[in-house]
Amino acid sequence: MRVYRLLLLVLSVSMVSCTLEEGDSEQMVNLQVVKDNPAAQLENLNAAIERSKRDGSLYARRAVVLLRRGELEQALEDADKAVRLTKNEPASLFVKAQVLRAMGKREEALPLALQAERNSYQSTSLYVLLGDLYLQRQEHEQALQYLRKAQNLSPADEFAYYYKGRVQEATGDTAKAIQNYKLALGQVPDFTEAQRELAALLIDKGDYTSAKPYLQRALKAAPKDAKLWYNRGLGYQAEQKQDSAMQAFAKAVSINDTLSGAHYRLGVYQHNLGNNEAALEHLQKAYEAFKGKPEYLGKLASAYERTGQYREALSAYQRLLEVEPKATYAYQSVARLKYKISKPLPDSAAVRLQEQIER
């Protein structure tokens, strides 16, 4: 997940800081005044560390501030020092786990979070973190167990609601997922990720009218979120605003070029316009996600054939018949392409075909 909003961190910064401050011999009298100002807090912590370089709790607190600023490598350096100096104190382990999670190193984060729990660290944030980590491993029941623990400590916690929704969406229980996203928004109305996921589910159900306000608010808060632009494109398609939909899909892939759904729809659109080179550029990027979809394979094969890439077209039609043996037009296409490939060509055309094969 991108660093533009660290879900767990937004919740846990104050909790972690409070935990680490308990029993801290280094007095920082003005820290509470500036606790919502990362730059000022960082200045305080730098000065405190200069005075007390063996105090691991100070490094842990600075790691949290650096994490808030998106300075992940430096945050990890401080988290490592905190763990070493505090001799695996559970709050330090938790901070390091959060940093690793933000860096995308979830498999490294999980054992640290579990060790923090075993060392009697009880925190809503820790349980939400564990719920997220198990969700990413697709261990959904384990994820729900930790999210229930989070709600036992903090019944109205928006992140627990949000991640429960994520788990329920992953397991196909979309009705409960929608309910939990709405509960999360009931606690924090500008919770962008909850707005995004809720809008996506409503659009999938064909309820674009309900989805639209969530999309608009989320896009205002996160204009560089590719998934939001993709969902907006789907909404425009539902309203039969094709040009607006394509602009939204194009915006989505300009932000995240791996967004297969947007590439697929852009490819189909370009194919229908007869822009076969442009269609192929998008359709090829959607292959892994859509190679089991007959409509996609038909468009891909057609675009290959229109651009004279007969062997690739033949392969795509053969794949289509594996997926959908009842696609009778594909049998005719296979026969036609086999004939084209095997048919003797004039010398100049044969040279071009050979060059194409060698490429």
Please report the pLDDT score of residue 314 as a whole number: 97
CA separation for the pair 278, 266 (Å, rounded): 9
pLDDT of residue 36: 63
Sequential DSSP letters for 53-112: TT-HHHHHHHHHHHHHTT-HHHHHHHHHHHHHHTTS-HHHHHHHHHHHHHTT-HHHHHHH
> In terms of residues, how long is the chain?
359
Query: pLDDT tens, 170-187?
Result: 999 999 999 999 999 999
Q: With a cut of 60, say whether residue 353 has pLDDT above it.
A: no
Which of the four pLDDT bands, split at 50, 70 and 90, describes residue 359? low
Phi-psi category of residue 335: left, alpha or beta, with phi > 0 → left and psi -120 to 50 → alpha: alpha
Q: Which segments within 287-342 are labelled E, that is strand?
A: none
Residue pair 10/38 in contact (Cβ under 8 Å)? The answer is: no
Do residues 93 and 119 make contact, with C-beta atoms less than 8 angstroms apart? yes
- Judged by average pLDDT, the poorest of 8-22, 84-98, 200-214, 326-340 is 8-22
Statement: residue 350 has pLDDT above 60: no
Instruction: Quote the CA–CA distance of 356 and 308 in Å, as a whole number.
Output: 9
- Rounded CA gap, 309 and 296, in Å? 17
CB-based contact 234:203 (threshold 8 Å): yes
Domains and their CATH numbers in the chain = 1-113 (1.25.40.10), 122-188 (1.25.40.10), 275-359 (1.25.40.10)
CB 279 within 8 A of CB 270: yes
Q: Which long-range CB contacts under 8 A does 351-359 form with residues at least 24 apart? A: 356/308, 356/309, 356/311, 357/311
Dump pLDDT digits (tens) for 190-205: 999 999 999 999 999 9
> Span 314-337, mean pLDDT?
96
Give residue 66's pLDDT band: very low, low, confident or very high (50, 70, 90).
Answer: very high
What is the structure's pLDDT at 52?
A: 87
**pLDDT score recorded for residue 44:** 87
pLDDT number for residue 53:
87
Question: pLDDT tens, 101-116?
Answer: 999 999 999 999 999 9
pLDDT tens for each residue of 14-55: 333 333 333 333 322 233 333 567 788 888 898 998 898 899
The pLDDT-based confidence of 349 (bands split at 50, 70, 90) is low
Residue 343 pLDDT class (50, 70, 90 cuts): confident
CA 256 – CA 278 distance, rounded (Å): 18
Taking residues 148-167, report their average pLDDT: 97
pLDDT confidence of residue 199: 95
pLDDT in tens, 247-277: 999 999 999 999 999 999 999 999 999 999 9
Q: Is the pLDDT of residue 234 over 60?
A: yes
Q: Sign of torsion, CA 277 282 285 289?
A: negative
136: left (phi over 0), alpha (psi -120 to 50) or beta: alpha
Cα separation, 147 vs 42, in Å, equals 31
**What is the model's pLDDT at position 40?**
85
Q: Which amino acid is at 57?
A: S
